[in-house]
A and B are shown apart, each in its own frame.
Chain A
Amino acid sequence: MTRPGRTERKTRAPRPKHARTLSTMDKLTVVLMVVVPALIVTGLVWVPAISTVVLSFTDWNGIGNISDMNFIGGQNYVDVTSNYPPFGPAMEHNLIWLVVFFFGPTLLGIFLAVLLDREIRGSRIYQSIFFLPVVLSLALIGFVWQLIYSRDQGLLNAVFGGQTDWFGDPDINLWAVLVAAGWRHTGYIMLLYLAGLKAVDPALREAAAVDGATEVRTFFQVIWPVMRPVNIVVLVITVIESLRAFDIVWVINKGRNGLELISTLVTQNVIGEASRVGFGSALATIMIAISTVFIVIYLIQVMREQR
């Protein structure tokens, strides 16, 4: 190890001048490379995030000068938790969403990926079919499922002759929506995991096979540990998708009547004529806080690994 170091120093030694000019360039480059992303991150992430937190302590209605707004302390938070009936259900629904996504579509997607990785006949066709919903926008998916779930004109009730109000009954609609959203999430996870599986060194499998391991054992004891980075990505994506779940619910009924989610409550309050900016910001801040918990867990995990 010492040798290459020395030779390097030797070759560089005779040109201190050159090195200095380079370092000015280097400095400039480094400064640019640090400052530009820092500005972008500050401008697009930190400033809005901190403004949201600050606004959540005001009664600003989005109209007029910022100087017109009044600081009202934690009143918005008190209102959110004690005087806003949709808030409790929204928290609950986000949690259900996360749990269902994890145990349903995510595991199913991984399972499908493992199956498709076995080069069965027509693998490409299956891949396309499962991946199709990912390509469609969620707004379109919402519309497609509306055709299926509509009480009076929907496919499901027409075929089974039922009267179930899939989207209107608050005890059912969340689950109906989860099927629709999960349909899409499955394809997403499948593709992600399939890409990971393709990258696994085939020699590992062969070695396992030679040692006489069964398929199941090979997967859990050889492939799964190798796939750890992909597993973490899949987990993180599942958490993120569950927290930011929004569009499909918004398309169906703007996140009301059994489909309340934190994200839709924020939108209802901030966007549009309503403009309860302060109140909506308080909701958004709560969402940031929850996300932060997951981000911190993720970061600790990643850092521990690097060490």
Chain B
Amino acid sequence: MSPRTFGAGGVSAINVGRRTLLKGMLGAGALAGLSACGGGDGGGGGGEVTLGSNWSDEVPKKAIADMVKGFSGGGVKVNTIDHNSFQENINNYLQGGPDDVFGWFAGYRMQFFAEQGLIGDISDVWSDIGGGFSDAMKQQSTGADGKQYFVPLYYYPWAIFYRKSLWQEKGYTPPTTMDDLVALSTKMKTDGLNPIAFGDSDGWPAMGTFDYLNLRINGYDFHKELMAGEKPWNSNEVKAVFDAWREILPFHQPDALGRTWQEAAQSLLNKESGMYTIGMFAGQQFPEGPDRDDLDFFTFPEIDPAIGADVVEAPIDGFMMAARPRNEDGAKELLSYLGTAKAEDAYLKSDPNNIGAHDDADKTGYNALQQKGEQLVSGAKSISQFLDRDTRPDFASTVMIPSLQEFIRNPNDVDGLTKSIEDQKKSIFGG
């Protein structure tokens, strides 16, 4: 359902597709299993801390294990739960007997649970580890009440990806403004390329394009307010976003609604498409070696010079603490450790598909793409998460996914579409 599903490295498209599908089917069934997980370890010894991990794919799973090994403050029991099941059952999980510490996402999705009183305040942990994180990271870890609830682990930026070799051969250069992008796309078309790869079968990838257009046209603050339900969707600002999208939609791969993001990424790999607005996980679709090294990206171009292009969409994954952990001291000690550069280095060594959230995370081992991503994000004025992480999950999945798909299908009725979104938003956000 969301980009972070694909946090693992080196899994082929078909594999991911099938596994995600099958696991999705198991979602309901896993509900019982989940509560058993939570409740089963109630009698853990005094020093033991439980860590609920949704890093269930092979690569991140090993990375978590390696990271936990470095913790000296007592035993840690890692309960790994299938990523999608964990996400789909998060409400039951948090209300049942959650693990002391567990993995989750930054932004509104964390704040939502903080507001419901389902996760624990770890502001005192932040007074220990806060020095190692940028203000943007701290902002993303803070609830609406000003307290901290989240320890960031890593992030992965969204940008426009392309193949260096193809661009060299054709003499393309990364566009910095929307006009450049349109000119480049037109040129690609005459060169027989499909300019922008696009696949929205899963519903969420199009959110990245919407977010970037919105961030470039209306800026970060508007994005936040819009996502929080404070600004109307049928405003001229939002219509401008859809209008701009309609301008570039003809340069996107046609029939996007039947294509998965993996298939779209492969059209980039096969040099059928010129570029692709996607997260860094797109690299998973590129075989390790020369193909993956050939992958590069540029930031989404500027549209309004007054707004600039210094907001980066970079979803952050990390850890939270249960509202009433069985071993609170141990949990906080573990979180303090998880918020250190040392812990992040241990993780990233095994899973180099992400970028460490800590300022002092070891960058010497980064590949070129990671280094570039790190520079992009550290130079960003603000970091946005992702549409489905910055707003209510029910709004994102039951309103925005169908609406964006409707727009891709019929981009001409923006007035009707935005009015429909606004009406539904009111009923979900409670007017």
Q: Which residues of A contact B (CB under 8 A)?
A: 59, 61-64, 75, 79, 83-86, 137, 139, 142-143, 146, 149-153, 163, 165-170, 173, 247, 250-251, 253-254, 256-257, 268-269, 271-276
Given contacts A151-B255, A166-B258, A272-B88, contact A256 B402 (CB under 8 A): yes
CA of A257 to CA of B109 in the docked complex: distance in angstroms? Answer: 25
Verify A143–B18 contact, CB threshold 8 A.
Answer: yes
Q: Which of A75, A247, A253 has the most CB of B within 10 A?
A: A253
Name the one of A85, A251, A272 contacting B27, with C-beta atoms under 8 angstroms.
A272
Main secondary structure of the interface of A (DSSP, over half): loop
Residue pairs across A and B with CB atoms within 8 Å: the count is 116
Contacts of A169 in B (CB 8 A): 255, 257-258
Q: B297-337 toward A: CB 8 Å interface, digit per residue (1/0)?
A: 00000000000000000000000000000000000000000
Q: B390-403 toward A: CB 8 Å interface, digit per residue (1/0)?
A: 00011001100110
Name the distance in Å between B130's Cβ and chain A's nearest Cβ.
28
CA of A149 to CA of B420 in the docked complex: distance in angstroms? Answer: 31
Name the distance in Å between A172's Cβ and chain B's nearest Cβ.
9
CA of A112 to CA of B256 in the docked complex: distance in angstroms? Answer: 38
| Those 3 A-B pairs whose CB atoms lie nearest each other, nearest first | A168-B258, A165-B255, A273-B393
Within 8 Å of chain A (Cβ to Cβ): is B28? yes
Within 8 Å of chain A (Cβ to Cβ): is B41? no
Within 8 Å of chain A (Cβ to Cβ): is B24? yes
* Interface 9-residue window, one of B134-142, B278-286, B423-431: B423-431
Verify A139–B21 contact, CB threshold 8 A.
Answer: yes
Verify B21–A276 contact, CB threshold 8 A.
Answer: no
Verify A275–B394 contact, CB threshold 8 A.
Answer: yes
Name the one of B17, B267, B409 contacting A257, with C-beta atoms under 8 angstroms.
B409
Verify B397–A151 contact, CB threshold 8 A.
Answer: no
Contacts of B18 in A (CB 8 A): 143
CA of A275 to CA of B397 in the docked complex: distance in angstroms? Answer: 10
- Across the interface, name the chain B residue whose C-beta is closest to A272: B88
Verify A257–B87 contact, CB threshold 8 A.
Answer: no
CA of A150 to CA of B18 in the docked complex: distance in angstroms? Answer: 14
Name the one of A85, A146, A275 contacting B402, with C-beta atoms under 8 angstroms.
A85
Q: Interface range on chain B: under 10, 10 to 19, 20 to 34, or 35 or more?
A: 35 or more
Given contacts A139-B25, A168-B256, A169-B258, contact A276 B91 (CB under 8 A): no
Within 8 Å of chain A (Cβ to Cβ): is B202? yes
Given contacts A79-B427, A268-B398, A271-B88, contact A139 B22 (CB under 8 A): yes
Within 8 Å of chain A (Cβ to Cβ): is B107? no
- Across the interface, name the chain B residue whose C-beta is closest to A176: B258
Contacts of B406 in A (CB 8 A): 85
Verify A274–B28 contact, CB threshold 8 A.
Answer: no
Main secondary structure of the interface of B (DSSP, over half): helix
Contacts of A142 in B (CB 8 A): 21
CA of A166 to CA of B27 in the docked complex: distance in angstroms? Answer: 27
CA of A302 to CA of B259 in the docked complex: distance in angstroms? Answer: 47
Contacts of A75 in B (CB 8 A): 427
Verify B258–A272 contact, CB threshold 8 A.
Answer: no
In B213-262, the 8 Å CB interface with A consists of: 254-259
- Across the interface, name the chain B residue whose C-beta is closest to A143: B18
Verify A272–B420 contact, CB threshold 8 A.
Answer: no
Q: Which of B18, B21, B88, B393 has the most CB of A within 10 A?
A: B21
Given contacts A165-B255, A256-B405, contact A274 B201 (CB under 8 A): no
Contacts of B409 in A (CB 8 A): 170, 257
- Across the interface, name the chain B residue whose C-beta is closest to A171: B409
Name the distance in Å between B153's Cβ and chain A's nearest Cβ.
20
- Across the interface, name the chain B residue whose C-beta is closest to A63: B116
Verify A272–B393 contact, CB threshold 8 A.
Answer: yes
Name the distance in Å between B377's Cβ and chain A's nearest Cβ.
25
Within 8 Å of chain A (Cβ to Cβ): is B291? no
Verify A256–B28 contact, CB threshold 8 A.
Answer: no
- Across the interface, name the chain A residue whose C-beta is closest to B87: A273
Verify A271–B255 contact, CB threshold 8 A.
Answer: no
Contacts of A251 in B (CB 8 A): 21, 24-25
Contacts of A166 in B (CB 8 A): 258
- Across the interface, name the chain A residue whose C-beta is closest to B263: A152
Verify A84–B424 contact, CB threshold 8 A.
Answer: yes
Verify A273–B394 contact, CB threshold 8 A.
Answer: yes
Verify B201–A272 contact, CB threshold 8 A.
Answer: no
Contacts of B393 in A (CB 8 A): 272-275
Name the one of B88, B257, B266, B427 contacting A273, with C-beta atoms under 8 angstroms.
B88
Given contacts A257-B409, A272-B397, contact A250 B24 (CB under 8 A): yes
Verify A276–B25 contact, CB threshold 8 A.
Answer: no
Within 8 Å of chain A (Cβ to Cβ): is B90? yes
Contacts of B202 in A (CB 8 A): 253-254
In B72-115, the 8 Å CB interface with A consists of: 87-88, 90-91, 95, 109
Name the distance in Å between B97's Cβ and chain A's nearest Cβ.
16
Given contacts A272-B87, A273-B87, A273-B90, contact A151 B118 (CB under 8 A): no
- Across the interface, name the chain A residue whose C-beta is closest to B95: A63
CA of A254 to CA of B27 in the docked complex: distance in angstroms? Answer: 13
Verify B259–A151 contact, CB threshold 8 A.
Answer: yes
Contacts of A253 in B (CB 8 A): 201-203, 257
- Across the interface, name the chain A residue whose C-beta is closest to B203: A256
Contacts of B420 in A (CB 8 A): 85
Contacts of B398 in A (CB 8 A): 268-269, 274, 276
Name the one of A139, A170, A276 contacting B428, with C-beta atoms under 8 angstroms.
A276
